[in-house]
Each structure stands twice: as C-alpha cells, then as structure tokens.
A and B are shown apart, each in its own frame.
Chain A
C-alpha cells in the first residue's frame, strides 16, 4: 500500500485552503467581469437577519460538530491565513491602481468592471470577507464547545470582529448619505434632495452664516527655468510686519502687512478693510546681500475683490504671495424643531451637527471666494448600524489588550 497522500486528503491545510478561497475569488472575478456592477448587500431587515442567522447557525453547527474534520478546517487557522492572504493581495493591488480623479473609473474596460482600484465595491473582496466571517464564527463555535474561563478573551475579541464586520457590511445598504449645498441666508428647509435621493430631517435647517479664518500667508520666490517651468521657493514662516526672509543673495523685508486688504483703483494702492473675503497684502523691500535695493512694492495673492500683485525682480524672477491656508471654517445653522423651538448651532470640521439620527458635516465652500463664500457644502449622514459597529470595535480593543497584555509571560520576570 502506498504511503503517498493525495492533495485533497483531510485534514486540509494552508495550501488546500488557499486553493479553495482562491477558486472562490477567481469565480467571483469572472462573474463580475461578465455582469459588471458593484457588490450589493441585501436591504434592511434582510441584511441583519442574514447576518444573525449566518453567525448563529455557524457558531451552533461548529459547536455541535466540533469533531468533524471539515468543521475543524472551517474554524481553523489555515482557512484564516488563506483568507487573510487573499484579502491582502486584493488590497495591495487596489493601492497599486492609479485612482481616477474624483473617485470615478478610468477609461480602461477591465479595471472598472473588476473594481480593482475600489475593491470594496467588488464581489471578490466581499466573498473573501464572507468566508473569513464564517471562519471566525466557526472558530468561536469550537471554543464555546470547549469553553474555559481563559477563552473569554478570545470570544470577546473574535465576537467583536464578527459584530463590527457584519454590521459594517449591513451599513453598505443601510447608510444614507447625501451631499448638499446650502446658500448662506437662504430659507430653512427639512427636505434635502440630490441625485434623485431625498431625505427629511426632523428639524428645519437654515444656513445663517459662514465664516472662515486663514493662517497668515507666505512669500515665495519664483524663478523661470529654461524648460519653461518655474522654480518655486516658499518661506516657512508666515508674513508679518518687520519679518525678513532670504533666498541666497536675495533678501526681502516686509515693511507693511495688511491681513485683510483691498486694492483701490482710484488711489492705485492697497488699504486695510473689514470686508469679508478681502485678501492679505504686504509691502516688501527687496535687496541683495550687498544692501543694494532691487525692488520695492506690494505683493498680494489676490481674492474675490482684488487681482493678485507680484513684485518683478529682474529677468525671470518675481516675488509672490502664496494664498493662505484655511485655519478653521464654520457654518452657523438656525434650527427650527417640529415643536417650533428655534436654536442656533455651529458646525465645524471634526464637530458635526447631530439632529436625531442624522449627522450633518461641513465639507466644503467656494474656495475662490474664501470667507466671502455664498454657499457651504454639507454631507448629511444617517448610519443606523454605527452603534453596533462601535460596540464591535470596543470589543476588539478590549479583547486585544486582554489577550496580549494581561498575560504573565509579558510582564513576568527577567529572562536572560
């Protein structure tokens, strides 16, 4: 009798697992290439029912049939590693694909259909994650059958992975997200519409005001190069009255700095103003290292009310002002609730507005007009799965520390 074993003889190991998961991934890629489109999760409540049934059935079946070699494989490390390896390959491929501008597909026929640049939209990653999900559930079932107190940390961590992963998958069909633009001072509304989608908020929203604060601007020396391009050397410090900067043999000193200025045609000069959205301007004296004056005049990055001003420094060189970066931008809402009670709330980046289950994020504004922007862009989001995902993430966090830190082998005595 031959002692050689054939490939599919149990127990299955990493290579068999890799072939099985790889086969699933390739089949899903082929289906996707034929059908196109993106992976679609079932709608609520079918998605949550599918999640609950799949987890419970797998955990129970794995606990009941723990001696079966198939169950041991299903909840075993070899399948986890195979899934992890293929997920990693798909993800690495996705980051090697150039992203198309604004997140849209490229002109290539195959890439958009396969969703290689955006793997979360494709069936292959969804398939791998589904197998990993079953694998984690089966692993939990095996531990529950042979339960000991020390396995509680394993169950917390892997239960967290199951909950976070399952509910995040549910979120793909349950989350409602809408990008809207609102005019400053416009009328209040609770109905928001975009691209055929419409949502009703539990309160009327009116964008009362928009405000923007900038960091001070910086100066830069621009030098024309032989190849038609320009060399751009910016200062690291901000503009301020009395500041001086140097670029090799060129030295510049700011004699006057106006953080908010406007160009007066009638006076042919810049003057300070309180007008919202006005641009900064600086009066600069430029000398060489020998103290010889090269130029003197105003530089400004310009804005909605004034053109930009550069200071020429001879052939092919000029001193310019770089438009300032925004430090903070905020929108103030007037909110009128159903009972007629009105209140005002400010939304800034990192501090969204909460209205019932809805989160309103300030996302953009008219960059060309800056603080004088007449509109602001918002993202209105409702994710009913969020608290479950967060609970799962908290369990992952607790489980990771529990398993790895609270062990005698980590903080034990000295080993030499």
Chain B
C-alpha cells in the first residue's frame, strides 16, 4: 500500500513541490491565456487554456496514484476538479460563441480557484470512510463538478452582463440571455445526474434515497432555483433582467450547497461532512 502523503508541512517535500509547481504553472498559463484572448490572440489563448487544464489534470492524476484513492473527498480536491473542468467548458464556449470576454472570465475564474488551492490546499488525507467506497462515488462527484463548472460560469456571466449593462446604461440583449442559457443547458442535466446518482448511492449505503440532510436539502434548493430560471427563460414574456437575477440567486444557492453547508447550524448532524 502506498503510504506517502504529500501536503503535510515538512513531511514530504516532493509532494509539496509537485502540487505548487502544477498549480503555479496552471495559473501562469491561464493568466497568459486570458491576456491572449484579451488581445485577440484566440489560438494562443486556447493553447494556454488547454495547457493549464493539462497541468491540473496531471496533478489530479498524481494525487490519485499517490493517495491511493480518487481525489474527490475534500473541498480542496473538489475545487481542483472544478478548475480542471472549466477549460472543457471553455472549449465549448470558444467554438460556439467565439466570445473573447467570456473566455477571459473562464480563465480568471479557473486561476482564482487555483490560487485558492495554492494558498490553502486543505488536508489531503489517504483515509476514506467505508460509505465512500462505492461505484457511485466517482460518477456522482464528477457529474456534479462538471455541472458546477458550467453553472457557476453561467452565474458569473449573468452578473457580468448585468453589471456591464448597468454601467453602460444599455439594455441586456437576447444574445447574452442565450449565452447564459446555453451554459445552464449544459450544466443542469448533469446536476440532475449528480443529484439522482447521489440518491441511488444513499439507498445502497444508508437505506434511504432521501433523508433531508442539509446537503441534500440545499441540493434540492439549488435544483429548484435552476429549474425556475429555465422556466422563466422559456416563458416568452419574461424579463431578461429578472432571468439573470434568478440565475445569480441560483448560483448563490449552488455555492452554499457546495461550500457553505458545513457552516450551517444544522450541519452538526449531517452525514455529508467528510472533512474539508
């Protein structure tokens, strides 16, 4: 059995160097990529975006081998997956919308996540509680992380479009609504997959597919919020500004579900607190 941790202070210098090197390289690639997009060098931007994604993917692979378990357990690890999937969404955005500003936003978001992990990587522990040893574990978390990448990006875009429209004293245009909706279109079905796979897993592990645990409750709140946005978007007479506001509220719910549930008063009895 591999018994090498790599983020334990002075315990393993090689591990620390690899983590910092990969994250540092990803940040440099993405900042340079953002500059490339900002200065209309789209191909360079795309290349650097993929290179940064490869750095994070490589780090995840290294962690998977070194820890002897899928690196999907802690908050720091899920953040890395989020940063890894953002470039995938960026590729779709690149080819579908060719919107430079959107690509810059994605790269800025991915860089911020990596900086967060560089400053506070969290505990990278090898142990995995028995309930997590399930075939549902990887698809459940991966589906959620891909959906989060797309949905958080949609929320950030909505906020950007709203602020930009307000500052320029212009109306939002339907194309902006379409961009944001397309991102939700990608993410929402995957979020449904994540939630339902979680329910199937809970039935196998804890005898109940839904136990109104705070994490589950917030997952449902988030799902309802995005469903409300989708319904509003398809309603012909609904106001674009209101759609964006509902989407931003849904994104706030998502962030609470992902990162904030552990801080809620009800979290003390939660079965979803695996350590962050």
Contacts and interface: CB of A to CB of B under 8 A. Distances in A.
Interface of A: 77, 80-81, 84, 87-88, 91-92, 94-99, 101, 103, 117-120, 168, 177, 215-216, 235-238, 240, 243, 245-247, 325-329, 348-352, 359, 361, 363, 379, 381, 386, 389-390, 393, 396-397, 400-401, 404-405, 407, 409-410, 414-416
B10 interface: yes
Contacts of A177: 207
A235 B8 contact: yes
Contacts of A328: 130, 133
Interface size class of B (residues with CB under 8 A): 35 or more
A397 B196 contact: yes
Is chain B's binding surface mostly helix, strand, loop or mixed? helix
B269 A99 contact: yes
Contacts of A359: 207
25 contacts: A91-B220, A94-B266, A95-B218, A96-B265, A97-B266, A98-B265, A99-B269, A103-B269, A236-B7, A236-B8, A237-B3, A237-B8, A240-B3, A326-B130, A348-B130, A349-B131, A350-B204, A351-B204, A389-B209, A390-B200, A393-B200, A397-B196, A410-B185, A415-B175, A415-B179
B41 interface: no
A414 B96 contact: yes
Contacts of B266: 94-99, 117
A195 to B, nearest CB: 16
B217 A401 contact: no
A236 B125 contact: yes
B217 A352 contact: no
A95 B217 contact: yes
A386 B202 CA distance: 13
B95 A414 contact: yes
Contacts of B123: 236
B235 A350 contact: no
Interface stretch (B110-118, B154-162, B187-195): B187-195
Contact of B97 (A119, A236, A348, A416): A416
A88 B231 CA distance: 16
Given A96-B266, A98-B265, A236-B5, A327 B192 contact: no
Contacts of B10: 246
B106 interface: no
Contact of B188 (A92, A236, A400): A400
B192 A400 contact: yes
B276 interface: no
A115 to B, nearest CB: 11
B11 A92 contact: no
Please indicate which of the listed interface residues A77, A168, A386 has the most CB atoms of chain B within 10 Å of its own CB.
A77
A94 B217 contact: yes
B264 interface: yes
Nearest to B196: A393
B99 A416 contact: yes
Nearest to A177: B207
B133 A404 contact: no
Nearest to B125: A236
B264 A84 contact: no
A84 B11 CA distance: 50
Interface string B201-236: 101111111101010011011001101101110010
Contacts of B133: 328, 349-350
